[in-house]
Copies of this chain bind each other. A is one copy, B any other.
């Protein structure tokens, strides 16, 4: 049975979690879901165990985030942190990771996962992942699709083809974010799954597919590979990476390849898209408040208080307020209704306009 590696895609940044998320401290490095102080990326790696241990985890991140990522993941070997000099979507880092793993183990199974999602049913997730691994062993480029629970227009969808073994289906189409009517039809039809950005494949199969569908990327990966053999990877990386095609694995490979499968699953998946979701996924008191220990609440319900400051902790007191988000960091404080969580961008834009990029 082939060895299984995980590749965590952790190069992302974003503004929806300002003031917690910054260019230097993006979403995946923050404890935005669940009861404790575990970052999203640490949870992503923890819940793979015992199926995949941290020694077999690789993380594709950016040079800017390399140190912060290493700090967040003490159990992942430092040599397994792949730092992209510039962001080039998902095909490039996945290809780079697959080539790196294939150098010592071409038959290895590679599991690609986003760093910044939440899963409530971790055992259920591992069961689905094990099925996807068995499908991938047969040479299929396999994805895990999440059974949709609402007509979400913010996600891509995967259209199911004929049934394979292990509960898997062939994939007929990767569908872009639909409009509301199409999304409703997808949910009603039962033939579409959410594309959660999770992929499982044999390293060699993916590299062969890249060679066929993204030959420019394949050539660059080959030169990276040659440089790595000579211990000269860092220099060539800085030279080659900016020229790589910026294309997603979905578009570049999965939509074009022949043997593409999907394993459907329902395991409490959430992409943690806003402070509103962070409140939903947090531990609540009897009044629905998700607040730091020791917070005093009087006539206060359904509030989120997130204290991400690093110094001595403050005592929070909420009196007569409901459905608010209060976020504190070392240098900023945000107060808004939970219902405005999608509009944090407006604050970031105002900050950028008035004060430059230093604070965002």
Contact = CB atoms under 8 A, between A and B. Distances in A.
Interface in A292-311: 294, 296, 298-299, 311
A321 interface: yes
B319 A335 contact: yes
A296 B347 contact: yes
User: Which DSSP category, helix, strand, loop or mixed, fits chain A's interface?
Assistant: mixed
A230 B282 CA distance: 68
B315 A336 contact: no
Interface stretch (A107-115, A214-222, A325-333): A325-333
A317 interface: yes
Contact of A346 (B298, B311, B314): B298
Contact of A19 (B315, B335, B336, B337): B315
A292 to B, nearest CB: 10
Contacts of A344: 319
A332 to B, nearest CB: 4
Given A19-B315, A331-B314, A298 B337 contact: no
B296 A343 contact: no
Nearest to A346: B298
A351 interface: yes
A298 B314 CA distance: 26
Contacts of A340: 299, 319-320
A309 to B, nearest CB: 9
B336 A321 contact: yes
Interface in A323-360: 324, 326, 328-337, 339-340, 343-344, 346-347, 350-351, 354-355, 359
A312 interface: yes
A318 interface: yes
Contact of A317 (B318, B319, B320, B333): B333
Interface string A270-304: 00000000000000000000000010101100000
A236 to B, nearest CB: 41
A136 B88 CA distance: 83
Contacts of A19: 315, 317
B321 A335 contact: yes
B320 A328 contact: no
A351 B298 contact: no
A326 B326 CA distance: 10
Contacts of A354: 296
Given A298-B343, A343-B298, A336 B351 contact: no
Interface string A98-121: 000000000000000000000000
A321 B347 contact: no
A337 B321 contact: yes
Given A296-B351, A296-B354, A350-B296, A343 B320 contact: yes
A357 to B, nearest CB: 14
A61 B311 CA distance: 34
Given A298-B350, A350-B296, A354-B296, A319 B331 contact: no
Interface of A: 18-19, 294, 296, 298-299, 311-312, 314-321, 324, 326, 328-337, 339-340, 343-344, 346-347, 350-351, 354-355, 359
8 contacts: A298-B343, A299-B340, A311-B311, A314-B329, A316-B333, A317-B336, A319-B334, A326-B335
